[in-house]
Structure 1
Amino acid sequence: MKELMREAVQLFEEVMFQGAEHVIEAMDGDVWHDYSREQLQLLKLLEQFGPIQAGQLAQKQGVHKSAVSNRLKKLVDKELVVSRRGHDQRERLIELTEAGHRIVEEADAAVYRYVESLLDGNIEETEIEQFVRTFRKIKQLLRIGEE
């Protein structure tokens, strides 16, 4: 069992890191050429968790606040995000604009098209169902999205 678990962890790491790079490199569509991967990830986080403070975004991206500030400035300039006051007058919350939501939808659609073309005819529906069940359990164990 330990050997099987070791292989599962190794495969998970390979797919997470190398698979993500492979998918991103293969992306087509203007959105993947007009914005950096980090900017798109930031928009995706805002869609999921926004409105949110810049410091919390930095924590979720695993980077220093200055890196997020730089990305946010570019996204504000492109009118994809806005900064507004929170309940506390000192608090600044970042949120997506309508244009930002459209970019996230465009990026999601490009990823979906690519992954669908990659899997179509190569993986059986029952395998996809098992994949979904397994990743739902992993998501639950990691408590992703519960914040």
Structure 2
Amino acid sequence: MDEKKLSQAIDLFAEVLFDATEYVQREINQDLFEHISREQADLLTILKIKGSCSPGSLALIQNVHKSAISNRLKKLLEKGFVEWNDSQIHRDKRSKRINITRKGEEMIEELNSAIFKALRKLIDEADEEHLDSFIKIFTILKGKFKGDFSE
């Protein structure tokens, strides 16, 4: 493997992720963020993708201290966007898990719709082939991250 190319790809991915986040923040309706911070929205997205998670797992995924997750979860709980999993398995609060609620899923759908509209402005018909390549590459990477090394 060409390590220089891999390093270039990693750097480019980080730059695109940063630039895209900055672009979306500028372009979407800021009224959406009256109700939820970007960090809280990211937390809801994690719960939507991964399902029920412990606060410790969420802290690890977001790369923040557990106290930051506790604060975010407290605010999301107050807004009705998340709830504690009431499973009998999780009687001990340290092993409790958090779930996204229907209200939280609706907030994510609203945010995703705004993000789609903002990014749609950038994509034209000439970019269709690039979009197909992007989907193919990210599908392969997703599989490899989940342990599927067949590609």
Q: TM-score range by the shorter chain?
A: 0.7 to 0.9
Taking only the aligned residue pairs, the percentage that are identical comes to 33
Asked if residue 139 in structure 1 is aligned to residue 142 in structure 2, the reply is: yes
Specify which of 81, 89, 92 is matched with residue 91 of structure 2: 89
Shift of 1:21: 2.1
Specify which of 92, 99, 106 is matched with residue 102 of structure 1: 106
Q: Return 5+ residue gaps in structure 1 as ranges.
A: none
Q: Distance in 2 between matches of 1:50 and 1:7?
A: 33
Contact (CA 8 Å) 2:90, 2:97: kept in 1 or not?
no
Query: Partner of 2:133 in structure 1?
Result: 130
Amino acid in structure 1 at the alignment position of 2:101: T
**What is the RMSD of the two structures over their aligned residues, measured on CA atoms?**
2.1
TM-score of the aligned structures, taking structure 1 as reference length:
0.84
Q: Distance in 1 between matches of 2:6 and 2:57?
A: 33
Q: Distance in 2 between matches of 1:135 and 1:28?
A: 28
Asked if residue 113 in structure 1 is aligned to residue 142 in structure 2, the reply is: no
Amino acid in structure 1 at the alignment position of 2:118: Y
Shift of 1:27: 1.6
Asked if residue 10 in structure 1 is aligned to residue 11 in structure 2, the reply is: yes
TM-score of the aligned structures, taking structure 2 as reference length:
0.82
Q: Distance in 2 between matches of 1:34 and 1:20?
A: 18
Amino acid in structure 2 at the alignment position of 1:138: L
Contact (CA 8 Å) 1:80, 1:96: kept in 2 or not?
yes
Shift of 1:22: 2.1
Distance 1:50 1:6, change over 3 A: closer
Shift of 1:141: 2.6
Q: Distance in 1 between matches of 2:90 and 2:7?
A: 48
The aligned length equals 143
Deviations 1:3-27 (A, max 9, x none): 6545433322210223222222322
Amino acid in structure 2 at the alignment position of 1:43: L
